[in-house]
Amino acid sequence: MNKQFFILVCSSVLVFSSFLSSAKEFVVAYDGFYDRMKVVNKGEYNRAKVGFYLKELKSGKSCILSHGQIITEQQEFPLTFSPNMELLLPFDEKLDKDKAIVIAQTQNPKDECQLVMQIEASGSDKTQLAKNDLFEVYTELSDLMDDLSGFVLSTVFGFLMPDIVGITLIFDEPVTLLSKNESVMNCSDFKCKVVINDDWEDDMQTIRFSSAPSKIVPFIEK
């Protein structure tokens, strides 16, 4: 299996590391997942987390999985994943100590899949969101990035960490901003990017969208 380590910052997605695989079977050690989940659990975040995905290298689309396993020398467990192909891994110290391996089977053996570790927060079932709630999500995402940066990057690479200037709301359908005079927000297709400032912390004014966001990720300053 071809493995490559890199750090990549996009406008709304932070990718810490990626393991490339052009085979139908994708294999990676469990300990990397566990270490990052441990950082999240220690921080006691309400909504922020690290999502684990397999993405096609060229298109950036999700690699479609058929099934998978988590295996140790003694045991084997089924690997579960969501409809959008997020790997739903248990936070299990024993699996870490037993040096478990995560195996995912892709439907298309020609896909070049990369493991993407994305800082994100759960979305909402509401189309109206208060500014102070969005500020709270922004704060959690920023804090989690800070916590993970200390784990992932040595001081030599510290200058590579980007600044989070806001959040990007992800929707399952093309979205329209219904609120007026929101010049700090830019909506296009399935995303709305918004710059957050400290004034939002106690601002209960709501922002209306044509649909509810399914996920929220950092808005990274280029």
Which domains, and CATH codes, for the chain?
8-119 (2.60.120), 122-220 (no CATH)
- Provide φ and ψ at 115, rounded to 5°: -85, 120
From residue 86, how far is each of 42, 53, 77, 108, 147 by CA, in Å? 22, 5, 17, 17, 22
Other Cβ atoms less than 10 A from the Cβ of 74: the count is 6
Cα atoms in the Cβ-side hemisphere of radius 13 Å centred on 122: 6
Check residue 11 and give its pLDDT.
33
Whole-angstrom distance, CA of residue 121 vs CA of residue 36: 15
pLDDT of residue 150: 67
pLDDT for 172: 95
Pairing of strands 65-71, 76-78: antiparallel
- Residue 154: what pLDDT? 41
Q: Which residues pair with 113 in a beta bridge?
A: 21, 56
CA angle 141, 146, 147 (to 5 degrees): 95
Listed in sequence order, the residues at least 6 apart from 159 whose beta carbon sits closer than 8 Å to its beta carbon are: none
pLDDT of amino acid 221: 74
Cβ atoms of residues 118 and 36 within 8 Å: no
Supply the DSSP symbol for 161.
P
Rounded Cα distance between 112 and 76, Å, is: 26
10-residue stretch averages of pLDDT, the chain, 222 residues long:
33 44 77 93 91 90 93 95 94 97 90 89 95 96 86 48 86 92 82 93 94 95 70
d(CA 164, CA 139): 10
pTM: 0.82
Is the distance from CB of 42 to CB of 140 less than 8 angstroms?
no
Note the pLDDT of residue 147.
Answer: 87
